């Protein structure tokens, strides 16, 4: 098994186990560091990691003080490895791994009344998820007031932000990080 190194916080320097031959891509340490620089202090926040893979972003968030984490990963073997990584690295944290397709997990989490301060998504590039996710998250009412949706995506994709989202974007080579603030605006009176 190969490993991914945690770049900051209480677990800095620890390694996550990742399965060789897995189709999952992993957020590079440079991009992870950039995301947390953009987010600032996440101490005590509730975090949702969509398309979690082996959990590089999820564990980094816990390492930096996130109070709770829900990680969604469709591939069974990868989700199982993520659960093992979380149990090993953060046994005292409130963590849940959901082995399900994001398109079904987001509405399910919304029906459960779950709300998050930070929602991170690193979907497969150029497969339509970047345009889909902001609307899906908004419809599920997953983002707390003043929460953010952070999308890692290809420079060839635009983050399709519905009304009510403010967008900041940073570029790292071919990768864009789009931070969408979830301060929903009221719909205009008709």
Q: What is the pLDDT of residue 186?
A: 47
**Cα gap 109→182, rounded to integer Å:** 17
pLDDT for 187: 46
| Pairwise CA distance, residues 60 & 4, whole Å | 11
- The structure tokens 């590039």 sit at 125
| Secondary structure (DSSP) of 42-81 | -TT-EEEEES-TT-HHHHHHHHTT-SEEEEE--SHHHHHH
pLDDT at 188: 43
Q: What is the pLDDT of residues 6-29, one digit of tens each?
A: 767 767 767 766 766 655 556 667
3-class DSSP state of 112: coil
Q: List b or e across 130-156, with b for residues whose CB sees 16 or more CB atoms inside 10 angstroms.
A: bebbbebbbebebbbeebbbbbbbeee
Average model confidence (pLDDT) across the chain: 83
What would the pLDDT profile of 129-142 be if each residue is shown by its tens digit? 888 898 899 889 99
Banded pLDDT at 189 (limits 50, 70, 90): very low
Pair of tokens at residue 168: 């900041």
Dihedral over alpha carbons 61, 119, 130, 18 (to 10 degrees): 30
pLDDT tens by residue, 79-95: 998 898 888 887 777 89
**44-48, 57-61, 96-100: least confident range:** 57-61
The pLDDT value recorded for residue 163 is 61
Query: Residue 43 CA to chain centroid, in angstroms?
Result: 16
Alpha-carbon distance of 63 to 6, in angstroms, equals 8
State yes or no: pLDDT of 147 exceeds 50. Answer: yes
Claim: this prediction has a pTM higher than 0.75: yes
User: pLDDT category, 170, cuts 50, 70, 90?
Assistant: confident
Q: Mean pLDDT, to the nearest integer, of 154-182?
A: 78
Q: What strands lie across the sheet with 175-181, from one edge to the other?
A: 94-98, 68-72, 46-50, 116-121, 143-154, 175-181, 166-172
CA distance 132 to 81: 27
Assign 30 a pLDDT band (cuts: 50, 70, 90). Answer: confident
Quick check: 184 pLDDT over 80? no
Q: Which domains does the chain have, with CATH numbers?
A: 2-181 (3.40.50.150)
């Amino acid at each position: 098994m190969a490993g991914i190194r945690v770049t900051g916080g209480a677990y800095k320097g620890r390694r996550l186990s990742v399965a060789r031959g897995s189709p999952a891509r992993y957020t590079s340490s440079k991009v992870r560091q950039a995301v947390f620089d953009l987010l600032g202090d996440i101490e005590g926040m509730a975090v949702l990691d969509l398309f979690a893979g082996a959990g590089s972003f999820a564990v980094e968030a816990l390492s930096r003080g996130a109070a709770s984490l829900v990680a969604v990963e469709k591939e069974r073997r990868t989700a199982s490895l993520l659960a093992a990584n979380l149990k090993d690295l953060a046994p005292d944290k409130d963590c849940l791994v959901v082995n399900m397709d994001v398109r079904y997990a987001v509405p399910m989490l919304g029906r459960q009344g779950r709300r998050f301060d930070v929602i991170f998504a690193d979907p497969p590039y150029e497969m339509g998820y970047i345009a889909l996710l902001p609307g899906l998250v908004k419809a599920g009412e997953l983002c707390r007031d003043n929460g953010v949706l952070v999308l890692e995506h290809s420079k060839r994709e635009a983050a399709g932000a519905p009304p009510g989202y403010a967008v900041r974007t940073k570029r790292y080579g071919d990768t864009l990080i789009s931070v969408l603030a979830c301060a929903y605006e009221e719909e205009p009176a008709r």
